[in-house]
Structure 1
Amino acid sequence: MKKQTAAAHRKLLIGFGLIGFGFIIAAAPVVSAAANQKQADNFMIVQSNQSQNKEIVREGFAKWANGTGSFFDLLADDVEWTITGRSPISKTYTSRKQFLEEAIAPINERLSVRIVPSVRSIYAEGDTVIALWDGTAKAKDGKPYTNTYSWYMTMKNGRIVKVVAFFDTIELTDLWKRIPVSGNKNK
């Protein structure tokens, strides 16, 4: 009798085990579907932010190009802007004010016609927007200033919070040395 009871008991435990395993298998797709939906929702948010960030940058360049605004209005007050290379302005700036005063203003002082951007392309992934563009201007000595830029921008809440800027620093250095400006030593 004990052998029969033990065997029946084993069958019962195995049966419950299989039933339990069946519940796990049945629940797995539900959990997986919920996780997939959350992942899809997150993807849509990222895609939406990417599109929005790309559009903000595109509009900033358009306003700059047609003279109705400054691209630098998009910068957060505490932006971190790094200019790569070995030009006279190559370094990391830690505020919008510092960047405009120490980099942009001295460049503009050397120009008789402002830089006009022509965007080649804008790419976005997550909170990063990359712009490849050409800038043309005229220096105060009458010579053209042309350069190609690639800016890697990090966006947060519709503002640019970080930039790494690449361009022909030899072209900028030539402009800098050819056209001296009066005033402070940073210029």
Structure 2
Amino acid sequence: MPTRPLPAALLALAVAGTVFLPAGASAASGPDTEARNRQIVTEAFARWQAGGSGFFDEVLSPDVVWTIEGSGPTAGRYEGRDALIARGVRPLTSRLATPIRPVAKTVWADGDHVIVAWQGEAMAVDGQPYVNRYAWILRMREGKAVEVNAFLDLVAYDDVLRRIPAAPAE
């Protein structure tokens, strides 16, 4: 079976040495899988943008491996959805007065991979805006993301964590 070329964004990351398809994986998983994966992620983002709060439960497998690329205290590997939410999501969202909402997004799909470039905005509890740009590469299996490589401006993220004290544990 002939393989299809990777989308430019994924190809650029692969050439840069950041993302590699696992052994035996192919970008040619079929147009139906590709369309279904793109639709799942696109619709979940639309619900999030409209005020929904279930994106991570809807899209992520409970045993997802989520890697925040880069350096700094937040970068690293999170094994499982609960670990990601506890150590990667909640420290930021607990310091925000409003939820992060996607305000712009572009979604590409190639076989089992969905790439989302998006901008999120919120207001921090100190009245300053939180604005960040993200690129997420999701590897999907049976309608759920099982691996995610997340790229974002960690300086903006970590600034909120440094600037605003953590809320006392309940």
- TM over 0.5, yes or no? yes
Question: In structure 2, what is the Cα distance between the partners aligned to 1:120 and 1:100?
Answer: 22
What TM-score do you get using the length of structure 2 for normalisation?
0.79
**How far does the alpha carbon of each residue in 1:42-67 deviate from its partner, in whole angstroms, 9 at most, with x for none?**
x9961010000000000110111111
Q: Does 1:64 align with 2:48?
A: yes
Question: Are residue 161 (structure 1) and residue 146 (structure 2) matched?
Answer: yes
Code of the residue aligned with 1:142 in structure 2: it is G
User: Structure 2 stretches of 5 or more lacking a match?
Assistant: 3-26
What secondary structure sits across from 1:163 in the alignment? strand
The answer (yes or no) to whether the contact 1:119–1:131 under 8 Å persists in 2 is no
Compared CA separation, residues 142 and 126, structure 1 to 2 (3 A): same
Cα RMSD of the aligned pairs, angstroms, is 1.9
Across the two proteins, how many residue pairs are aligned to each other? Answer: 144
What CA distance in whole angstroms lies between the structure 1 residues aligned with 2:117 and 2:41? 11
1:69 CA drift (Å): 3.9
Q: Which residue of structure 1 aligns with residue 34 of structure 2?
A: 50
Aligned-residue offset at 1:103? 1.0
Contact 1:60 1:69 in 2 (8 A): no
Kept after mapping to 2: 8 A contact 1:87/1:172: no
Match of 1:105 in 2: 90
Q: State the AA in 2 paired with 1:174.
A: D
- Counterparts of 1:1-187 in structure 2, within 5 Å, are 46-73=30-57, 74-183=59-168
State the one-letter code of the partner of 2:161: W
Q: SS where residue 122 of structure 1 aligns?
A: strand
Contact kept? 2:28, 2:110, Cα under 8 Å? no
Q: Which has the higher helix share?
A: 1
Paired-residue identity, %: 37
Q: Which amino acid aligns with 1:154?
A: R
- Specify every segment of 5 or more residues in structure 1 that has no aligned partner in the other structure, as ranges: 1-34, 37-42
Question: Contact (CA 8 Å) 2:29, 2:112: kept in 1 or not?
Answer: no
Separation of aligned partners in 1, 2:119 and 2:167: 28
Q: Which runs of 4+ in 1 moved over 4 A?
A: none
* Larger radius of gyration between Structure 1 and Structure 2: 1
SS at match of 2:100: strand
Cα distance in 2 for partners of 1:69, 1:170 equals 25
Amino acid in structure 2 at the alignment position of 1:54: R
Write the distance in 2 (CA, Å) between the matches of 1:174 and 1:45: 40
CA contact (8 A) 2:49 2:103 kept: yes
